[in-house]
Amino acid sequence: MRDKGGLFSFQGAFALIAMLFTGMVVVYSASSFAGKTLENEKNAEFERKTIFIADSMVKNHNVENPFLGAAVFDPSLGRVRPNAVSLEALRNAGREQAQIAGITVKKIQAMHENGEKETIFDYGGKNFSECLAAQRFIVDWGKNRKTLLEVTACE
C-alpha cells in the first residue's frame, strides 16, 4: 500500500506541473495578442494620418503650407479644383512645413502619364523608423497632364 501512495503523489505533482505550464502558455499568448493589437492600432493610426495628408494635399488649398493643400483655387468657380494640383507649390515648400501631426512628409514623387518619374520634394538626410506611401491621381495643373502623385510619410 505504501507504494501506491508514492505513485499517486507523483501523478498529482505531474498533473499540477502540467496545469501550471498550460496556464503559463495561456497567459503568454494572451499578452502577446494584446501587444500585437496595440501595435496594429498604432500602425492603423499612422496609416490614417498618411492617407489624410495625401487627401488634404490634393483636395484643399492652403497658401501657407502646400502639404496641407496644393489644389488649385479657381476664382471663376469660387472654389478649389479637387485633384488639380500645383506641383510648383509643392516644389517650393520648405522642410519645416513637412512636419504635420507628428508625421513627416519625406518624399513626394510624380509619375506622369508619359512614364516620366519626377521627385517633387525630398526631405532627405534623416533616417526614419517607419514609412508609408499613399498614392492619388491628380492633374498637374501647370502642364495639364494626368499624374500619379505618391506621398511618402514617415514617423
Query: Taking a C-beta distance cutoff of 8 angstroms, is the pair 32, 57 a contact?
Result: no
Q: What is the pLDDT of residue 1?
A: 47
pLDDT on residue 5: 60
Q: Give the per-residue pLDDT at 36.
A: 73
Contacts of 119 (CB under 8 A, 6+ apart): 107, 108, 109
CA distance 99 to 103: 6
**In this predicted structure, what is the pLDDT of residue 4?**
59
What are the grid coordinates assigned to 52, written together? 489624410
**Measured distance CA(75)–CA(38) in Å, rounded:** 46
